[in-house]
Each structure stands twice: as C-alpha cells, then as structure tokens.
Copies of this chain bind each other. A is one copy, B any other.
Amino acid sequence: MRQSQLFTKTRKEAPADEVAKNAQLLIRAGYIHKEMAGVYAYLPLGFCVVEKIKQIVREEMNAIASQELIMTSLQRKELWERTDRWSDEMVDVWFKSELKAGGEVGFGWSHEEPIGEMLKGHLSSYKDLPISVYQFQTKLRNETRAKSGIMRGREFVMKDMYSFAADEASHVAYYEATKPAYMNVFRRVGVGDDTFVTFAAGGAFTKFSHEFQTICEAGEDVIYINREKGIAINEEVLNEETLSSLGVTKDELEMVKTAEVGNIFNFGQQKATDLGLAYKNEVGETVAPFMGSYGIGVTRLMGVLVEKFADDKGIVWPKSVAPFTVHLVGLNLEDEVVRDWVNGIYQNLIEHGIETLFDDRDARPGEKFADSDLMGMPYRVVASRKGREEGTFEVVTRATGEVRRLTEEELYADFDNDPNT
C-alpha cells in the first residue's frame, strides 16, 4: 500500500489521559483510536494486526476440530437468571439496557449460557458428541477501571471456545489438546518462549484451571515459574499443597510479572447441569455432558506484543502479525528518474508476494525514518538516489537495528529464504 493513500497519520503525542504504553504507541502510530477509557476503534493498520492474530488463532482452533460460529451481544435476562449470573451482585461487569418492546436485556460479557441454550437444539444423543465450537466475539464488560490500554478493555475481541464430551476421558483428552494448540498460537505470534501454562484457581468444579501467562511488565498478574521443570503457578494458588503436588519448592521458583493471554477451564459436568443441557447416553439415560471453556484475549494479546517488543523509537511487530513485512522508504522522489525506479521496486516487491507499505510521501527523510520506526514493520528498505547509483538498498531489521546493504536480487532472495516472511 502507498502510504500517501493511507488516511491515518502518525502523531508526536498520545492523548494526555492515555497512560498505557501499548495504547500510547498504537494511537501515535495510527493503529487505534481512543473512543473512551477502555474502548478503542481499530484503524486500518490496527484492524490488519487484529485480523492476522485472529487468522492464526482460527487455524489452530480448526486444527483441533472446533467449528466457528458467532453468538449475539444481546442477552436474555431469563437465561442468565437460571444460572444465577444475571444480578449485579453475582456478576459485576454487566452492561444492561431496556428493550423498547419491554423487558431487560444484557450485553454479552461471556457466552457459556447462550452456547449451552443453543446446543439444546442440536445435542440429543451421545452420537452427537464430542462438540467443540468457538467464536471471535466483541465482549462488553463494564469494568470500573480501564487504564491498561487494549490490555483490559470495556470492549474487546476475545476468542472463546466451548467443548462438550460424553465421558471424562475424551473430555480430558480435548482439554489437554487445547494446551499445545494454544502454545502454537503464542509461539506463532512471537511470545512462545515467554508464555507459560500456569496453574490457577479452578473455581467450583475443579482444583485448578490453566492460564496462559506471558511475561510482561505491564501485566496485572504475578506468577512463579521454574523454566527447567516447565512449572508455572499463579500466586493465587501458591501454597504448600500446590507446591508439594507439583514437586517443587518455593526456592526453585522465580517471580515474574505477567499478562494473562489465555485461559482454559474444566467445568466437569456441573456447568452443563446448571445450564440444563443433557443428552441420552448409550443405555438411554439422560446425562449432562462434560464441558470446557477456552479463551484467548485477541486484542489483549496485541497489546502484550506492543508492550514486550516496543523500544524507545516505537512499535516492533513480529513478522507474523505485522500489517506489512517491508516498509519501503523512498527518498529523493522529487527526482523523476529516482521516483520511477522506486515505483518499480515497489511493484517488484509486491510481485514477489512481499507485503509492502511504500512511503511515497513528500516528506523529509528524518520524518520518514521516525515514522517507520514508530510504525514498526519488521524490515525497512531505503531506496534513494545514491542507492540507485550504487545498485543497493539499505535494509534495516527493526527488531535488532541491524543494517545491511543488499542488491535487489539479494533483497528478494533474503525474503524468499526467510520462512517467516
């Protein structure tokens, strides 16, 4: 894409009321717009990052045989009253409103209840199981405090998945299969080494749930990890019982600040029982299925990537989620010969299948470089009069600052040979 066509502009300062680094940088670089605290619009570049993260998540969920659908934001009061999750005393993040036609409605902050209710129309026999469904839903949560940018929003995109199984063995097998699928997601977006499957509070149904916690200074959580043993424990369940059951002592653990990018819950049969969801088993008995729920905070994950990889010049995107792989910065474009040459380079990059943002603007080199650093594409390719004369480009790797001079052939070969681009 030609940057002169991109309607968003970078800016020197973030809004004064924005205290989170992720939102400050994303606003300054033109990725997001702040509607109000905890509520952000995703402008073309930001929309692109969200879609790339979603596509990675989608591929991994499809790979474990989950089926994508989309539930509704509007929620019926009666449905949530049945499980005693309607009242503000029980759930403190509801947005609620009145139907003009009469009656109260809520706005979806979670979707176990409607998923369970919907499934009553499709699940009747043990032959229908197992079932796994997921959605990318815009969740609305009436958070009292929203100061973490896109890492804790009042409106945010979440992938939530729900599994249903006829027996405990297949239920546990699916629950366990989600762990590598989740880790694939976090590895593919570049945080695999810093993300830990973490023992956390299990709630009423099971002893533990599992959180996916990514080391991040801006995170809200504290966990204790032992990298060698591959053990991570949320501080909320750090006690003698947990330690001894995991065969680790507190001395062996390192305390780290983290952000929860995903979580998985095993509900056993209790949740389906509460929801009134049941099926007929092989001997004709009516029984509740085993149920699990599995979340990934898509927009939160995007915020974590900004927080973790940004430097003092701006955002640094992992290649897998960057809006463009290459930021082609054209200089001396007022010279027609140079301009034609750089336009040709831009076309060639596109023909090589390399996603390219072409800074074709009439602006000073310093401004172009600063914007390029702020916007954070993995590679900056500088094409100038001098480069044309010498037949080379300056190629800067954003993450490392490494500067190389490559010929055009070397440039394409570099991307053709890089499995990540």
Residue ranges of A at the interface with B (Cβ–Cβ < 8 Å): 5-9, 11, 30, 33, 35-37, 39-44, 46-47, 50, 65, 67-76, 92-93, 95-97, 99-101, 105, 107, 114, 118-119, 121-124, 128, 131, 133, 138, 140, 142-146, 154-155
Contacts and interface: CB of A to CB of B under 8 A. Distances in A.
A6 B67 contact: yes
A66 to B, nearest CB: 10
A154 B107 CA distance: 12
A36 B73 CA distance: 11
A140 B47 CA distance: 21
Number of this chain's copies in the complex: 2
A134 to B, nearest CB: 10
Top 5 closest A-B pairs, CB basis? A95-B97, A33-B118, A7-B131, A44-B67, A41-B71
Given A5-B65, A74-B155, A99-B142, 13 more contacts: A6-B67, A7-B67, A9-B124, A11-B121, A30-B122, A33-B121, A36-B76, A37-B101, A41-B69, A44-B67, A96-B97, A100-B143, A101-B145
13 contacts: A8-B122, A9-B124, A30-B122, A35-B114, A36-B74, A39-B74, A41-B69, A41-B118, A44-B69, A46-B69, A73-B138, A73-B140, A97-B97
Contact of A47 (B69, B72, B122): B69
Contact of A70 (B8, B41, B123, B128): B41
Contacts of A7: 67, 119, 122-123, 128, 131, 133
Contact of A73 (B5, B67, B73): B73
B30 A42 contact: no
Nearest to A95: B97
Contacts of A122: 7-9, 30
Contact of A41 (B39, B72, B96, B144): B72
A107 B133 CA distance: 27
Contacts of A123: 7
Contacts of A73: 73, 138, 140, 155
A44 B37 CA distance: 34
A92 B36 CA distance: 23
Contacts of A46: 69
A315 B44 CA distance: 36
A44 B72 contact: no
Contacts of A74: 35-36, 39, 140, 154-155
Contacts of A107: 95, 97, 107
A43 B69 contact: yes
Contacts of A75: 35
Contacts of A44: 67-69, 133
Nearest to A45: B69
A9 B40 CA distance: 38
